[in-house]
Structure 1
Amino acid sequence: MRIAPRIWIGLAVYAAYVIVVLGVTALSGVAYTDIGTSAEATWRGAVMDLAAGAVLLIIVTTLLGWWRPALSERQRSRHTWPIFVPILMFGVAVLNIFSTDWAKFDASFLLSLLALGVLVGFCEELMARGVVLTAFRSRLSEGWVWFLTSALFGLMHVGNALIGAPLLSSLSQAVLAFATGTTLYILRRVTGSLVWAMLLHGLWDVSVFAVGQNPLAAPLGPLLGPIIGVLSLAVVYWVIKGANEKNSFVATA
């Protein structure tokens, strides 16, 4: 790596990403609650800010030389059975997808949701469980790495209150995001790759936004999401146990 990982670098990237995403969304004039209700609102209120965030993360990760540690584990988790939690999350997302009446979406709306899924999975995973995780592993034990990256991922969602989301809703979303982040952390540790977490994250968000247009399917996420979160917290210890990622990477000239 060109630059040795440091905790402050991860925090700086985190802050820059949040500022860019929230700033671009605020400039778009689209309220958070309108995202996913139409193609225009989704493009302007979500896709554009995530695209700006993606550019930032690609440039920063390249300059730091952190692509390898950000995208892959040095050693996978010794325990693979906790992957049942991400599989359950995948199952709920698929149920949401199949219970959505896609005929009601026009081509532009479908493309906006696809772009949203690709970008949110890439950006939020690369930022939280990629760059920030790599930075934290320079000094912290794996237990703290899991907890703090998941906590920062959850805290990021409180910022939605600044772009039109109700504060209480944003706070509850932050708590759920902490648990969801734990599920995605488990997926990274078990598979050894961040790519699978990116794909699952993107699919989950698309299913959530799509199902919001289908009242009959809407209860699946709110009901099963917290259950998945509780399960992830119950088993995350087993993917942390025996992790040997701290100070695994050093800078090279």
Structure 2
Amino acid sequence: MSEAEVLPPPVPPTVEPRWMRWMRSPAARIAIFVVLLIVLGSVARAISHAIYGDSLKHLAFMDVTPLIEALRLLPIVLAYWILVRFVERRRIAELAPRKLVPHVLLGLAAGFALFSAVVGVLWSFGAFTVSGINHDVVWLGPILVLGVGAGVGEEIISRGVLFRIVEEGLGTWAALLISAAFFGGMHLGNPNATTWSALAIALEAGLLFGLVYHVTRSLWVCMGMHAAWNVAQGPFYGIPVSGFDQHGLLASHMQGPDWLTGGAFGAEASVVALALCSILTAVCLAVAIDRGSMVPPFWRRPNRHLPVTI
């Protein structure tokens, strides 16, 4: 018997249906996430209304409970899980459980240190003053909203979905610009928001968090940084967070021109925050360029290689 008769016939490669390939395209995946978010959000709002009625419409940060915040976050988390597991068909490596503790702690430390550096510079200029300690601070609600809610929800949408998927199609530079513009635009509807405050957030946080995700491929780090930045700013230092007034541990006061203090929007609209965040952004960019990890747009990839989440 010849060797050709012993060997089994070759198995032809599996060709995915065209509709499945379309579903996995960057634009389709973003659209699918939006649809999932709308549907699941409607269900979560119905459940919230059944439990709390209309009392959530004007709920203060301090009155938010874990259940209320969980109902707000569940649609985002569940929509992302469905997208990754059933559309992309991969493990959610950017939210790997083994990375949760070390990466979140790293992000928390970095976010608190970064905003403390902003406050330190403002204090050195005489723009930030402290008159005492507030002993009646309510921590739970603001931490749930500003820390957990903003950190988890906004990072999944802005970095986990928008930045990551756009990067696969249009490359890192386009992903940075698009996700940063989206992130800044998200804050235009906040109290005391201006065109400048939205631009400042896009440049200082949108670009920074995008590059932090690109360098680490970990949403945990981004979530920790985002949460710590907000909690340090509001519940700790007593500075408005993205336009929302805060009653913090420190009885603080800002004085000076708006370009320095950020005005009623808070220190995020200060040139100090923009400068310090831009320095860290430049460091992350240098790391990415040195690694050679900047992803080109699809038309400049000879082998159409996509970045791998590790």
In the superposition, the TM-score normalised over structure 2's length comes to: 0.55
Tell me the distance in 2 between the aligned counterparts of 1:53 and 1:102: 32
- Is 1:112 aligned with 2:134? no
CA drift at 1:181: 1.9
Query: Where do 1:101-140 residues align within 5 Å?
Result: 103-106=134-137, 109-116=138-145, 117-140=147-170
The question of whether the paired residues in 2 share the 8 Å contact of 1:113 and 1:206 is answered with yes
SS in structure 2 at match of 1:159: coil
- In the other structure, the counterpart of 1:231 is 279
Q: Which structure 2 segments of 5+ residues have no match?
A: 1-19, 49-53, 86-90, 97-107, 121-129, 240-246, 256-260, 296-304
Tell me the distance in 2 between the aligned counterparts of 1:209 and 1:203: 10
- In the other structure, the counterpart of 2:61 is 42
Tell me the distance in 1 between the aligned counterparts of 2:170 and 2:162: 12
Query: Where do 1:107-186 residues align within 5 Å?
Result: 109-116=138-145, 117-160=147-190, 165-166=191-192, 169-179=193-203, 180-186=205-211
1:184 alignment partner AA = F
CA drift at 1:101: 5.9
Of stretches 86-95 and 150-159 in structure 1, the one that deviates more from structure 2 is: 86-95
Tell me the distance in 2 between the aligned counterparts of 1:192 and 1:100: 42
Tell me the distance in 2 between the aligned counterparts of 1:12 and 1:44: 33
**Bigger RCO of structures 1 and 2 (CA < 8 A, at least 6 apart):** 1
- In the other structure, the counterpart of 1:55 is 74
Cα distance 1:145–1:176, how it changes in 2: closer, same or farther (>3 A)?
same
The question of whether the paired residues in 2 share the 8 Å contact of 1:183 and 1:229 is answered with yes
Cα distance 1:91–1:100, how it changes in 2: closer, same or farther (>3 A)?
farther
Q: Between the two proteins, what is the percent identity of the paired residues?
A: 17
The question of whether the paired residues in 2 share the 8 Å contact of 1:10 and 1:135 is answered with yes
Cα distance 1:113–1:192, how it changes in 2: closer, same or farther (>3 A)?
same
1:135-174 C-alpha deviation (Å, 9 max, x unpaired): 21331111111111111111111132xxxx23xx242331
Of stretches 150-159 and 6-15 in structure 1, the one that deviates more from structure 2 is: 6-15
1:224 alignment partner AA = V
Tell me the distance in 1 between the aligned counterparts of 2:187 and 2:131: 25
- In the other structure, the counterpart of 1:204 is 229
Tell me the distance in 2 between the aligned counterparts of 1:224 and 1:17: 36
CA RMSD, aligned part only? Answer: 4.1
2:211 alignment partner AA = I
- In the other structure, the counterpart of 2:115 is 93
Give the structure with higher Rg (CA): 2
Query: Where do 1:212-231 residues align within 5 Å?
Result: 212=239, 213=247, 214-216=251-253, 219=261, 221=267, 222=270, 224-231=272-279
Aligned length: 216
- In the other structure, the counterpart of 1:33 is none
Tell me the distance in 1 between the aligned counterparts of 2:230 and 2:131: 14
- Is 1:4 aligned with 2:24? yes
